[in-house]
Chain A
Amino acid sequence: MTIDSSPVKFTPALPGQPVPEIRTISGGRPVFRAELPDGRIAWLVSGYESVRQMVIDQRFSRALAVAPGRAQPGFEMSAAGSISGTDPPEHTRLRKLVASAFTVRRVEALRPRVASIVSQLIDAMAGRPQPADLVASFSLPLPAQVICEMLGVPAEDTDQFHAWSDAIIGDWQRDAGEMMTAAAELYGYFGTLIETKRAQPADDLMTALIAARDDADRLSEHELTAMCCALLIAGHETTANHINLSLLLLLDHPGQVATLRADPELIPGAVEELLRCTRLGGLPPARVTTEDVRLGGVTIPAGELVIPLYSTANRDRSVFIDPDRLDITRDAVGHLAFGAGVHHCLGAQLARLELQEAFRGLIGRLPGLRLAVPAGDLEFKPGMAIHSLRELPVRWDES
């Protein structure tokens, strides 16, 4: 067992770098011990079956992973007690408060509004000289405006909360103090906004959550504030960069762009395939074992850090044929881009809707859409836990 007990050095690929071949690193083992870039030791879980089995199993705890002394600065520390940092039954109580706002049916009702925002953003882009920076003019404002309207956050505060969000979702390269300051400032921002909403209720999710707090005592003031922070952070940077990274991948396959332009009914399926193939970030949120758990042929002792590598599940040869190939016409349903189990992405349906409408607009209205700079010149923001493009300059054919 000496070989098994020495952890493998593991550094998640930085944006633009090739993804490390997990089978080489792990020696073919689905579950293996690794030393992370910050020196922590974790069990990494790879492959579809093991990842899925792990994230559905309640013996892998998010609450323990974000507990004081264990949590990393930034998002993980600020997640304590929030919807992304609790286990059932606390998690179930929090999730039920917001679940109805994010169902397939409720989100589908937002489609005309999302399509209208897409249309306005593209009109504005088309009215300015080329090239356009897609990050500033489209991929960031779209999800930011959608989540602001849902939650009831003034859209003019976007720049401010975006700076906080960038810092909070920093990775191991980021200064811990900077991350925690940003988390505290965002928390304070919502504290003030919640007081304003209490005095002036509106038809938005924040008002509904305040009512759940004040009228029914279904969550604490801290949980209310933390929920707003979590929804805002989760609701824009992730979707914005899924738009960016998906578009980059798609533009590498001009034949498939043409197919999509000719038949927009393929867009929902294409979005699922792009979700399957796109790797949004470095290391997904960790869990900690509540007891000894047998997974992928090994026994993980209680109290160990465990991280599911969703991208390896989405490229598992036993589930997806020729998994490294983008094929927008394949049946990619079943991918784990949104996770699974109790922490299955709350905003999954909203993200799908935004991605579908974004591609309908970009592909449908901007013929010949292409990068305005060589792909190698694109810069990602340093020190981010997700692959966040600084700018994405694009051109298209004027009609």
Chain B
Amino acid sequence: MSRWRISVDKDLCIGSALCVGIAPDRFVLDERQRSGPVEAEIDPDELVRDAAASCPSEAISLIDADTGQPVDLD
């Protein structure tokens, strides 16, 4: 199965920490309370999909590493 690439746009991130609440092993806050991935490339993980779909600032991007296409968040 194809891997996922996670990135967080720190300019969009508002520090809600929803992603850290949903997937604490996958996201971590920096000292400015902005989120970032623990690992930039992971095996598919439904919690990460949930976190991206729940992000209030749509700051989390999930890319299919094989196709380069965005992962469906639904």
Q: Which residues of A are interface residues toward B (Cβ below 8 A)?
A: 52, 55-58, 88-89, 92, 95-96, 99-100, 102-105, 333-334, 338, 340-344, 346, 348-349
Contact = CB atoms under 8 A, between A and B. Distances in A.
A96 B53 CA distance: 6
Contacts of B54: 92, 95-96, 99, 342
A92 B56 contact: no
A180 B43 CA distance: 47
Contacts of A88: 21-22, 50
Given A56-B24, A88-B22, A340 B17 contact: yes
A348 B17 CA distance: 13
Given A103-B56, A104-B58, 9 more contacts: A88-B50, A92-B22, A95-B54, A333-B15, A340-B21, A341-B17, A341-B21, A342-B18, A348-B14
A270 to B, nearest CB: 17
Nearest to B16: A344
8 tightest Cβ-Cβ pairs between the two chains A and B: A341-B21, A342-B21, A344-B16, A340-B17, A104-B57, A92-B50, A99-B54, A334-B33
Contacts of A346: 56
Interface string B5-26: 0000000101111101110100
Interface in B21-62: 21-22, 24, 32-33, 50, 53-58
23 contacts: A52-B17, A56-B17, A56-B21, A57-B24, A58-B24, A88-B50, A92-B22, A92-B50, A95-B54, A99-B53, A99-B55, A99-B56, A103-B57, A103-B58, A104-B56, A334-B15, A334-B32, A334-B33, A340-B21, A342-B22, A343-B21, A348-B16, A348-B56
Which DSSP category, helix, strand, loop or mixed, fits chain B's interface?
Answer: loop
Contact of B50 (A96, A100, A349): A96
Given A334-B15, A334-B32, A58 B21 contact: yes
A49 B55 CA distance: 22
B33 A344 contact: no
Residue of B15, B20, B21, B33 with most chain A CB atoms under a 10 A cut-off: B21
Contacts of A340: 15-17, 21
Residue of B12, B32, B54, B55 with most chain A CB atoms under a 10 A cut-off: B54
A5 to B, nearest CB: 31
A105 B12 CA distance: 10
B15 to A, nearest CB: 6
Contacts of B15: 333-334, 340
Nearest to B53: A96
Nearest to A343: B21
Contacts of B50: 88-89, 92, 96
Contacts of A344: 16-18, 21, 56
A356 B20 CA distance: 28
Contacts of A102: 56
A57 B18 CA distance: 11
Contact of A338 (B16, B20, B58): B16
Nearest to B17: A340
Given A92-B50, A348-B56, A349-B56, A104 B14 contact: yes
Contacts of A103: 55-58
Contacts of B16: 338, 340-341, 344, 348
A70 B20 CA distance: 27
Contacts of B32: 334
Residue of A56, A348, A349 with most chain B CB atoms under a 10 A cut-off: A56
A99 B20 CA distance: 16
A340 B22 CA distance: 11
A188 B22 CA distance: 32
A89 to B, nearest CB: 8
A376 to B, nearest CB: 37
Contacts of A96: 50, 53-54
B27 to A, nearest CB: 10
A334 B18 CA distance: 14
B18 A341 contact: yes
